[in-house]
Amino acid sequence: MKDINQLSEELLLAVKMQKETSPLKLTLEKYLWEDFLDSLNNDDKKKAFWINIYNAYYLILRKENKINKPEIYRKKLFSIAGVLLSLDDVEHGILRRFKYKYSMGFVTNIFSSQRIKKLAVDVLDYRIHFALNCGAESCPPIAFYKSDNINVLLDIATQSFLEGESDFDEENKILHTTTLFKWFLADFGGVKGIKNIYEKQLDKNISDYKIKYKEYSWEDHLDNFVE
């Protein structure tokens, strides 16, 4: 049986190259549940797999199936290892470890299914927010993620996105940055955590800065792959 992470990369590549995706989708759908769990046996593999799957299926659902917002996120429209899933299941259930979507990361979704809980990462990694692409102008670009160097790739994605989204008003000590920080505030460790991220990722001390969030552009920007 083909490696599950490799299948996610192949699906995303087929989407990028505008090739037929049905055989790969069927293989993923028919993957045996126990084999699937055994294959995704650590967080590095889970993050790489589900980021690729999210980015691939957003484009498949939008371009091939003509599904629009907000249904494209909410409806269970694709199957992996016999489990019917939505994009929200992948992002908020699996990658954010069953967080309630509209709670800024402060509230756990007590209604998450047992299967979602089995699939979820053990530790929420804030960097996934700079890897998931929802087809909008303000979204991070799409890259291919491999489990064996996922931490390097996520660091690169985070640094690149923040460099492009951060405007520093040195005189007034104000940072204008992506509203992703506001939407998922607890995922980033609150305002203090955001400032620590800038220290770590951009080597920028903003401990005495005020943070303001930019308006998010929902204009379509499909097929925004990293070059």
Nearest to 191 by CA among 167, 173, 209, 204: 209
pLDDT of residue 107: 97
pLDDT of residue 21: 97
b or e along 147-176 (b: 16 or more beta carbons within 10 Å of the residue's beta carbon)?
beebeebbebbbbbbbeebbebeeeeeebe
Q: How far apart are CA 216 and CA 139, in angstroms?
A: 9
Segment 133-150, tens digit of pLDDT:
999 999 999 999 999 999
Structural domain of 160: 1-227
Average pLDDT, 10 consecutive residues per value, the chain (227 residues): 93 98 97 97 98 98 95 98 98 98 96 96 98 97 97 98 97 98 98 98 96 97 94
pLDDT of residue 1: 72
Look at the chain and report how many structural domains it folds into: 1
Contacts of 224 (CB under 8 A, 6+ apart): 133, 135, 139, 141, 142
pLDDT of residue 2: 83
pLDDT of residue 11: 98
Nearest to 225 by CA among 141, 127, 146, 147: 141
Segment 198-208, tens digit of pLDDT:
999 999 999 99
